[in-house]
Structure 1
Amino acid sequence: MTLEDALTALKTHEKPGHAEGAAAYHKVPRSYLGVPNPEINELATEWRRTLTLQQRLTLADDLWQTDIHEARIAAAKLLTQARIRPSDEPVWHLLCSWIADFDSWAIADHVSKAGERRIMADLSRLDHVEYWTESPHMWTRRSALVMTLGLTRLNHPNAEEAAARERVLGWAARYVDDPQWFIQKAIASWLRDLSKHDPERVRAFLDKHGEDMRGFARKEAGKNL
């Protein structure tokens, strides 16, 4: 499948007025086709089923480089998969190469879902992710938390997973005085999700760092406690 084929397929699902609404909502100057997410998901699912891994990698990067909103979301969905054979290294490297381009939460979150699966498949990748925590690019710093959300959902983490969870909580602790709304929201979401599985650890975090968090973030983090 070529890039032109993929864009043509996306455009067949355009909804009148949807592009204008998306542009107004996301407030990022780029092209919007007006294709709802369910239709993008259906197309990406079919492409994942029929294309080889190398074909998916090529198409995903071609879609990403268009800077079209729906094309970038489709690119992320093409690479969102729990197990990738024979090696997921090319997928991980491609996802990481896109992070510097992040400028909106919707696209960033779709890529982060793909990245989360690659991190959970190989926790040694946290060594690379840790560099993101020092980035001047807010969306890169945010990705260190959003891409590691899989660690919050473990009911019975093994020793490696528990250590990884504590490592990310250490990053969150360093973020608490970051004034950026999206960073505060990412901290809150990480803690809120973790509280469903380890409420005592979240209470301990909030006891120590809660006063340094923005009010809305502290409230969201403790929502389930």
Structure 2
Amino acid sequence: MTLDEALAALRTQVEDGRAEGMAAYHKQTREVLGIPNPALNDLTKTWRQNLSVEDRVTLADQLWQTDIFEARIAAAKLLSQARLRPDEAAWALIQNWVPDFDSWAIADHVCMAGQKRLVADPARIDTVEGWTKSDHMWTRRAALVITLPWTKQNNPKPEDLAIRDRVLGWAGAYVDDHDWFIQKAVAWWLRDLSKHDPARTRDFLEAHGDRMKAFARKEAGNLLA
């Protein structure tokens, strides 16, 4: 599939009158076509089924470079399959995209794809740790969003607990950053963790909660008994 064919397929899913509202909601200055997310899901699912891994990576790269809102989300969705072999090129592409993040919707879709690549090879956590030192807020935030799978295990292995504690260490260093998106990401990580590991969540909040923004502290603990 060529890029022109992919863009033509995307444009068939445009809903009249939707683009302006989406652009305002997502605070986009880039082009927004006005495509609902379910339509993007269906379209990219078909592409994943019909394209080789190599072709998916190539098309994802090309879609990203158009800088169209839905094209960037579609690029991420092309790489969101858990069983993606080989996946080194996909992981490299995801890393290349992170410095371009400038809005939560695009960042979160890419991080969902990145979560699959990180779970496939947890040693990649070393790369993600480097993001925590970035001057780019969205890169720092991505370090928490991409590691969310480690909040969800009911029976984590010792190596999973090590990653869980490692990321909690990053979150602890983030609490003095009062950027709303950083505080929200810390709260998100802790809230999800509290469903499966309330003890660690309580320990974190006891150690750091007084330095968090009030809304983030409340959200982080709202599922604790």
TM-score range with shorter-chain normalisation? over 0.9
Could you list the structure 1 runs, at least 4 aligned residues long, displaced by more than 6 angstroms after superposition.
Answer: none
TM-score by length of 2: 0.99
SS of 2:70's partner is helix
Distance in 2 (CA, whole Å) between partners of 1:52 and 1:126 is: 27
Following superposition, the deviation at residue 28 of structure 1 comes to: 2.2
Instruction: Compute the displacement of 1:84 (Å).
Output: 1.1
After superposition, give the CA deviation of every residue in 1:34-70 in whole Å (9 maximum; x if it has no partner). Answer: 1110001100000000000111011000000000000
Paired position in structure 2 for 1:145: 144
Q: In the alignment, what sits opposite 2:45?
A: 45
**What is the CA distance between 1:189 and its match in structure 2?**
0.3
Aligned counterpart, 1:56: 56
C-alpha root-mean-square deviation of aligned residues, in Å?
Answer: 0.6
CA distance in 2, matches of 1:41, 1:96: 22
**Equivalent residues in 2 for 1:125-136 (5 A)?**
125-136=124-135
Cα deviation, 1:83-102, whole Å, max 9, x if unaligned, reads 112x2111100000000100
Which string of whole-angstrom CA distances, capped at 9 and with x for unpartnered residues, describes residues 68-118 of structure 1? 000000000000011112x21111000000001000000000000000111
Q: Write the letter of the residue equivalent to 1:127.
A: D
Q: CA deviation at 1:179?
A: 1.2
Match for residue 21 of structure 2? 21
Amino acid at match of 1:149: L
Amino acid across the alignment from 1:29 = T
Name 1:109's counterpart in structure 2: 108
TM-score by structure 1 length? 0.99
Q: What's 1:30 paired with?
A: 30
Letter in structure 1 aligned against 2:140: R
Where does 1:70-219 land on structure 2 (aligned, <5 Å)? 70-85=70-85, 87-219=86-218
Q: Distance in 1 between matches of 2:178 and 2:45?
A: 38
Amino acid in the other structure paired with 2:141: R
Is this contact kept in 2: 1:28–1:103, CA < 8 A? Answer: no
Native 8 Å contact 1:153 1:194 kept in 2: yes
SS of equivalent to 1:33: coil
Aligned counterpart, 1:223? 222
Structure-1 separation of matches of 2:14 and 2:129 = 39
